[in-house]
Structure 1
């Protein structure tokens, strides 16, 4: 009976111990109460718990805190809707925010080594190549041809309705 009791206790205690260590690892070293960091508003477990309505959940949290963190065992993800933070990351201090090896490994199959994945010198090279396609002249030429084509479609539809003496909502 003694061996059975020990095995039974181990079987019950081991998953609890494993889960406790996992949760402890998530919350240690993440500067939870440090006011210099965005507030922690959940963990990866919240993403699983609210999986079917994750967008709604994160929108609700963003209404309360414009910048917040979700913790994982090996990293914390920062989410922001604050325009000042977005401008800081994308414009003012872009060089300080790299995509990192973790994100590059995940997205490389989709984006290869393009501008959305690479950092540093490779990014500058990709940006220089892309800047030719996004010049004012190229964008104007493309947008003008698209506008003309869609305007012609609109004129055709309105003409057909007017010939039939029909009514339509301009909105």
Structure 2
């Protein structure tokens, strides 16, 4: 019932109860905004709190076996690879320069919006700033989704955003597996958007090989 205002709904619940349980027909979920619990889950006893098969099944079509989806040895392998790459001084220094430039561009956009009394979608801007930074660091490509000057970047950003929304919908849609098998509805849209995302990603990979 609250899916269309999900973030506001969850924020309201977190204000009332730092830790709470949402009970549904087939599963129960526990949520927490208590800093002590968050530290325990993400640091103190991290190995005990994996993503699990349920989340992996939901997310793998978009994220594959990426670090945000997998557990155990696969997660450790990817974390080790990422930490090795970003520990090199050259890449670390380059990353800092890129992130600072993107932050400055974001600040400029917000400043212009404030001066002209214009409403902006801050979540969308944060996502685009992150996407622009990551692509510049990882692939050396200027997507520029914040300003929209790169048509290819805009297409990719929209497709990734749409695919993420369709993936999120799976958590409340009990029929998503049937829709995927029949390639209809939200699952058909998801497949089309994933295809668009993969086209650009593989194109960038081939450029670098």
TM-score where L is the length of structure 2: 0.45
Structure having the higher Rg: 1
Q: Which residue of 1 aligns with 2:174?
A: none
- Superposition pairs for residues 80-91 of structure 1, below 5 Å? 80-91=32-43
Q: Which residue of 2 aligns with 1:127?
A: 79
Q: Which residue of 2 aligns with 1:141?
A: 94
Q: Which residue of 2 aligns with 1:98?
A: 50
Q: Could you list the per-position Cα deviations for residues 94-153 of structure 1 after superposition, in whole angstroms to 9, with x for gaps in the alignment? A: 1101211111111000110111111111111111011123327233332135547987xx
Unaligned residue ranges in structure 1 (runs of 5+): 1-48, 155-167
Distance 1:147 1:98, change over 3 A: closer
Distance 1:117 1:147, change over 3 A: closer
TM-score where L is the length of structure 1: 0.54
Aligned mate of 1:79, from 18, 31, 44: 31
Distance 1:134 1:85, change over 3 A: farther
* Residue 66 (structure 1) aligned with residue 18 (structure 2): yes
| d(CA) in 1 for partners of 2:103, 2:28 | 46
Decide which structure has greater helix share: 2
RMSD of aligned C-alpha atoms?
A: 2.8
SS at match of 1:52: helix
Distance 1:117 1:146, change over 3 A: closer
Q: How far 1:84 sits from its partner (Å)?
A: 1.3
SS at match of 2:83: helix
| d(CA) in 1 for partners of 2:9, 2:101 | 42
| d(CA) in 2 for partners of 1:127, 1:91 | 15
Q: Could you list the per-position Cα deviations for residues 40-59 of structure 1 after superposition, in whole angstroms to 9, with x for gaps in the alignment? A: xxxxxxxxx22232222221
Which one is further off, 142-151 or 91-100? 142-151
Distance 1:129 1:74, change over 3 A: same
| d(CA) in 2 for partners of 1:100, 1:149 | 34
